[in-house]
Amino acid sequence: MTTVAQLLPIDLSAIGKEHLTLAVIGYSVVFLSLFLLFLVFTVVPKFFTHNLRVKIQKEGGAEKAALVNRMVPGEVSAAIAVAISLYLEELHDQETAILTIKKVGKSYSPWNSKIYNVINFNGFQR
Amino acid sequence: MEGIVRFFENSGFANATPGHLLMILIGMTVIYFAIRNEYKPLLLVPIGFGILIGNIPFVEHAGLHLGIYEDGSVMNYLYMGVLKGIFPPLIFLGIGAMTDFSTLISNPKLMLLGAAAQLGIFLTYLGAISLGFTNPEAASIGIIGGADGPTAIFLSSKLAPHLIGAIAIAAYSYMALLPVIQPPIMRLLTTKKERRIKMRPPRSVSKVEKIRFPVLALLLTGFIAPGSLPLLGMLFLGNLLKESMVTKRLADTAKNTIIDIVTIILGVTIGASTQATTFLTRESMLIFVLGATAFMISTAGGVLFAKIMNIFLSAENKINPLIGAAGVSAAPDSALVVQMEGLKADPDNHLIMHAMAPNVAGLIGSAVAAGIMMSYLL
């Protein structure tokens, strides 16, 4: 009978120094790349927000400046979205009552041409 | 009479082997689950049908130019797109045009989860070495843990083209089976209290930030791992086309026409590459075992790292460790699994938005991992 060890002949001694190096360096570089992205995208927005705050403060709006980058709670966003949706739907309550039927143009193709039909019924007309 | 005999000898009936019949059965099973259970149907239907096409028996190398491995056959020409690594970057272009990085930009610390969940790639690589695979083969098998089909195909096309079929089928099959593979590991590694953690809603992200992301991310990742450029270059190009709002037509083409055409050809050729005579080997079976292990380790890596991060985060900034499982990429399937698990613990806790961040970070992470392995081993 075939055993699991025969099906999966694991030989840990086959893992050499170079394999471990690749695994460790590889994983570290993946981490490093995403860590750098994390750093950049944590710092950059703060930098831009700071600039905006300074600009608004110069224009004399200290209170306005404090509002920069303030979080809008999800509930507020949802309420605004519902309000806009309801408002837009109400606009469609009264239709213009003008119905247009668009003519669909049928482009020519030899694949749908009557003259290439296998059975040309025109020939059977009496 | 001789003609009839010759005709019969060339027919599928005369050349059928139990292997062909088994593969046809597998193909039909794949199609069944893709349609009946909607398991990744866009990929598994073409792959399943490709398995049928590739396993209709015929006389190989008789000058008929039929098989995918026969020079000059139509399937061989289509398969070139896989072998030369052309299709995966095109798919990444489409993915980029479809992906919204907003949640990642609004909460950049979640990028680390996308990195942590790549653990499966490197541990599986070591596992494959211990099972007797060569260095390039082991790297190609390990990348299955990135849970990203195009990346797995891209790397194996460069390092181990003879294993593409098995690797791609394993990657896509396990991606379809994420709702079965991930939840037990997620529940095992988290407490009910942790699964109930409600995260702060993501902040709104400006248009400028969205445009800045693909450019900066490409520069950073490209300089660190140039090997990932074909994938990440196209991913971020697709995203810039979307976010710039001035190339809507190009973005639409990338995310609809191009990705659809490439997916069909890629799926069919990958399926057809599983010809019984080359696919039913001991190596293929081991790849399937290692692939499942890779998915499990990656899931565990993401969840455990989220728990470690929570040690250093303040009470209001705590993250729900379930979203770590979404770091395995497989966008958006693993994020959906996280959402479902989150709802099971607390029906009011919607985690999908948060889970999308490690999900797309995982996409970047697995492409970087592929780039590193390629530059190291080629």
pLDDT value for A59: 74
d(CA B110, CA B319): 9
pLDDT above 90 (res B202): no
A100 Cα distance to chain centroid = 35
- Does residue A20 sit at the B interface (CB-CB below 8 Å)? yes
- Does residue A69 sit at the B interface (CB-CB below 8 Å)? yes
Spatial contact of B117 and B365, defined as CB atoms under 8 Å apart: yes
The tens digit of pLDDT for each residue in B17-40 reads: 889 999 999 999 999 999 998 888
Residue found by looking up tokens 């497989």 in the block: B330
Q: Is residue B12 part of a domain?
A: no
* Residue B72, Cβ density class (10 Å: 0-12 exposed, 13-18 middle, ≥19 buried): exposed
Q: Between residues A47 and A65, which one has the greater pLDDT?
A: A47
pLDDT above 60 (res B115): yes
pLDDT band for position A18 (cuts 50, 70, 90): very high
What is the ipTM score, two decimals?
Answer: 0.87
Q: Which residues of A65-84 are buried (b: 16+ CB within 10 A; e: fewer)?
A: beebeeeeeeeeeeeeeeee
d(CA B376, CA A100): 64
Q: B204 vs A72: CB contact, 8 Å cut-off?
A: yes
Show residues of chain B in contact with A15, CB under 8 Å. Answer: 126, 129-130
Concatenate the DSSP letters of all residues of chain A into one string. ---HHHHS---GGG--HHHHHHHHHHHHHHHHHHHHHHHHHHHHHHHHHHHHHHHHHHTT-HHHHHHTTPPPPHHHHHHHHHHHHHHHHHHTSS-------PPPP----TTT-GGG-SS-GGGG--
* Residue A36, Cβ density class (10 Å: 0-12 exposed, 13-18 middle, ≥19 buried): middle
pLDDT band for position A54 (cuts 50, 70, 90): confident
pLDDT value for B311: 94
Choose, out of B119, B124, B126, B218, the residue to mutate when testing the contact with A (most A CBs < 10 Å).
Answer: B126
Residue found by looking up tokens 């041409």 in the block: A113
Spatial contact of B329 and B294, defined as CB atoms under 8 Å apart: no
Q: Is residue B164 part of a domain?
A: yes
**A54's tokens:** 């300074």
pLDDT value for B11: 82
pLDDT value for B200: 86
pLDDT value for B337: 93
Angle at B141 between CA B341 and CA B23, to 5 degrees: 85
pLDDT value for A92: 56
pLDDT value for B368: 94
Show residues of chain B in contact with A46, CB under 8 Å. Answer: none
Kindly give, in sequence order, each residue whose CB lies less than 8 Å from that of residue B284, ignoring residues fewer than 6 positions away. Answer: B165, B166
pLDDT value for B60: 73
| DSSP H or E stretch at residue B135 | helix B135-142
The tens digit of pLDDT for each residue in B73-100 reads: 899 999 999 999 999 999 999 999 999 9
CA distance A26 to chain B (A): 6
Kindly give, in sequence order, each residue whose CB lies less than 8 Å from that of residue B343, ignoring residues fewer than 6 positions away. Answer: B349, B350
Q: How many CB atoms lie within 10 A of CB B246?
A: 9
Q: B138 vs A19: CB contact, 8 Å cut-off?
A: yes
d(CA A38, CA A66): 25
Spatial contact of B155 and B133, defined as CB atoms under 8 Å apart: no
Angle at B309 between CA B303 and CA B313, to 5 degrees: 135
Q: How many CB atoms lie within 10 A of CB A8?
A: 14
Q: A25 vs B216: CB contact, 8 Å cut-off?
A: no
Q: How many CB atoms lie within 10 A of CB B268?
A: 24
Q: How many CB atoms lie within 10 A of CB B136?
A: 20
pLDDT above 60 (res A125): no
For B147: left if phi > 0, alpha if psi spans -120 to 50, otherwise beta; the answer is left
Q: Is residue B313 part of a domain?
A: yes
| DSSP H or E stretch at residue B170 | helix B164-176
Q: Between residues A65 and B200, which one has the greater pLDDT?
A: B200
- Which whole-number Å values give the CA distances from B235 to A120, B93, B143, B212, in the listed order? 52, 5, 18, 14
pLDDT above 80 (res B262): yes
pLDDT value for A72: 62
- Parent domain of B228: 84-377
pLDDT above 90 (res A32): yes
d(CA B350, CA B340): 9
d(CA B156, CA B84): 10
Q: Is residue B22 part of a domain?
A: no
- Provide the mean pLDDT of chain B: 91
- Does residue A30 sit at the B interface (CB-CB below 8 Å)? yes
- Does residue A5 sit at the B interface (CB-CB below 8 Å)? no
d(CA B234, CA B239): 8
Q: Between residues A77 and B254, which one has the greater pLDDT?
A: B254
- Does residue A76 sit at the B interface (CB-CB below 8 Å)? no
Number of domains forming the structure of chain B: 1
- Does residue A43 sit at the B interface (CB-CB below 8 Å)? no
- Does residue B201 sit at the A interface (CB-CB below 8 Å)? yes
pLDDT value for B332: 83
d(CA B54, CA B50): 6
pLDDT above 80 (res A66): no
Q: A33 vs B220: CB contact, 8 Å cut-off?
A: yes
- Which whole-number Å values give the CA distances from B326 to B178, B196, B288, B322, in the listed order? 10, 16, 21, 8
The stretch B129-157 carries a mean pLDDT of: 92
- Does residue A78 sit at the B interface (CB-CB below 8 Å)? no
pLDDT value for A119: 61
The stretch B243-257 carries a mean pLDDT of: 94
Q: Is residue B35 part of a domain?
A: no
Closest C-alpha to A12, from B127, B297, B283: B127
